[in-house]
């Protein structure tokens, strides 16, 4: 999955778990949880959906590695290799 498609996928998933936010305005380096006011429950839903869409399993200790859109794109791409 290339970066642009992955970016759009992440935006759609974030919109799905937090419908009352505007993830499209999220900058690549902004902290997803802090900027969108997402709690641990929502973040877990994000991890579940990301796993379903990409097939990449994200262990708990790696949650910090997908804290921004850019980091999430890099993480998924590296794991998909």
Partner 1 sequence: MIEFQMPSLGADMEDGTLIEWKKKPGDVVKRGDIIAEVDTQKGLIEIEVFDEGTIAELLIQEGTKVPVGTKMALIQPSTIEAEKPIELHPIMEKISEPIIEEKTDTISIKASPLAKKMAQENHIDLSKIIGTGPDGAITKEDIDASIKQSETAETEKISTPSEAIRMAVAAAMSKSNREIPHYYLEKKIDMTKALAWLQEANKQRTVANRLLPVVLFIKAMAKSLKEVPDLNAVWENGLLQKTEINIGFVVSLRNGGIIVPAIPQSDTKNADEIMTALNDLIPRARALKLRSSELSSSTITLTNLGDAGADTVFGIIYPPQVAIVGLGNITEQPFAENGMLGIRSLANVTLAGDHRATDGLTGSRFLSSLDKNLQNPEAL
Binding footprint of partner 1 on the chain (CB under 8 A): 18, 20-21, 34, 37, 39-41, 44, 47-48, 51, 57-61
Q: Pick the closer one to partner 1 by CB: 28 or 48.
A: 48
**Shortest gap between Cβ of 73 and partner 1 (angstroms)?**
19
**Shortest gap between Cβ of 77 and partner 1 (angstroms)?**
19
Q: Pick the closer one to partner 1 by CB: 45 or 77.
A: 45
Contact predicate 15/52, CB 8 Å: no
Q: Pick the closer one to partner 1 by CB: 4 or 61.
A: 61
What burial class does residue 34 get, using C-beta atoms within 10 Å of its C-beta: 0-12 exposed, 13-18 middle, 19+ buried?
exposed
Which H, E and C letters describe 28-69, residue by residue? CCCEHHHHHCCCHHHHHHHHHHHHHHHCCCCCHHHHHHHCEH
**Shortest gap between Cβ of 39 and partner 1 (angstroms)?**
5
């Amino acid at each position: 999955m290339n970066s642009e498609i992955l970016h759009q996928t992440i935006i759609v998933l974030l919109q799905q778990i937090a419908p009352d936010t505007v993830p499209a305005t999220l900058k690549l380096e902004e902290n997803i949880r802090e900027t969108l006011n997402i709690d641990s429950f929502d973040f877990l839903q994000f991890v579940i959906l990301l796993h379903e869409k990409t097939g990449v399993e994200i262990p708990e200790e790696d949650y910090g590695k997908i804290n921004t859109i850019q980091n999430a794109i890099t993480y998924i791409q590296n794991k998909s290799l």
